[in-house]
Amino acid sequence: MVLTPGQIVTPAKVKLDKSAFPPKKPLSTFAKFITLHSDMVIGGSKAPFSALRERWGTLSDAERKKYSSTKQEWDEYYAAAEEWRDNVDPVTLKELNRRRKARGISTKLKTNKRPPNSYALFYSAMYPKVFAELQDSDPSSLEGRGRVTAVSLAVAEAWKNTPDSEKQIWKEKAEALREEYNKKLKEKADGHATAD
């Protein structure tokens, strides 16, 4: 096909079957409650939904807890999501992101999450310890949104005071994760190149 100047070429639509889409997250507690009591909703009327919403409002925390997703459901979701990210075709991913953008969803689906740097590894290891220390010494600093700020400032201070020899250990761990990540990316790129 010969193109003339100014001619616009639209890419062919990519047809996707259900297996191309990423796995769905487990339902929220309220969504699970609605799903399990959907027999009350007949004919699309809003009145039964209002009744279910009111009924939900009267439940205690213990009663609501039985509708929450289990750790096993979340573990299965994370495993399926990781498998999907590792195996998704770049053309499929591009098409899914195009559809998301058309629907006004700003976040893009990504294939692999980049590995954390040395500070992020240090932070994730220190967070529980620092949180426990702050909880014992100054519980008022952990109220509301101040919790993240207080813990982050304490971890940042600990990082500043960490000797270079210990920081080097965290840098080596981060470098090992980065090398593994780059190796996976290369294998994936080689796999998709041979498939084409």
In a domain, 36, yes or no: yes
In a domain, 164, yes or no: yes
**Do 132 and 196 share a domain, yes or no?**
yes
Q: What is the CATH number of the domain that holds 42?
A: 1.10.30.10
Residue ranges in the chain whose pLDDT is less than 50: 196
**Do 75 and 121 share a domain, yes or no?**
no
Using CA atoms, how far residue 87 sits from 68, 79, 115, 140, in Å, is 30, 12, 18, 46
User: Last residue of some domain: 111, 133, 151?
Assistant: 111
**Do 99 and 26 share a domain, yes or no?**
yes
**What is the phi/psi pair of residue 57, to 5°?**
-65, -25
Nearest to 126 by CA among 158, 84, 94: 158
**Do 49 and 100 share a domain, yes or no?**
yes
Q: What is the pLDDT of residue 130?
A: 86
Q: What is the pLDDT of residue 172?
A: 96
Domain total for the chain?
2
Query: Domain range for residue 134?
Result: 112-196
Q: Round to whole Å and give the CA distance between 37 and 39.
A: 5
**Do 126 and 99 share a domain, yes or no?**
no
Q: What is the pLDDT of residue 167?
A: 94
CB-CB neighbours of 155 under 10 Å: 20
In a domain, 14, yes or no: no
In a domain, 12, yes or no: no
**Do 51 and 117 share a domain, yes or no?**
no
User: Last residue of some domain: 91, 111, 131?
Assistant: 111
In a domain, 4, yes or no: no
Spatial contact of 16 and 96, defined as CB atoms under 8 Å apart: yes
Specify the 3-state DSSP secondary structure of 110: coil
User: Against a cut of 0.85, is the pTM above it?
Assistant: no
Q: What is the pLDDT of residue 191?
A: 63
Q: What is the pLDDT of residue 22?
A: 86
Q: What is the pLDDT of residue 64?
A: 86
**Do 35 and 98 share a domain, yes or no?**
yes
Taking only the tens place, the pLDDT of each residue in 93-110 is: 888 888 888 888 877 777
User: Last residue of some domain: 83, 111, 139?
Assistant: 111
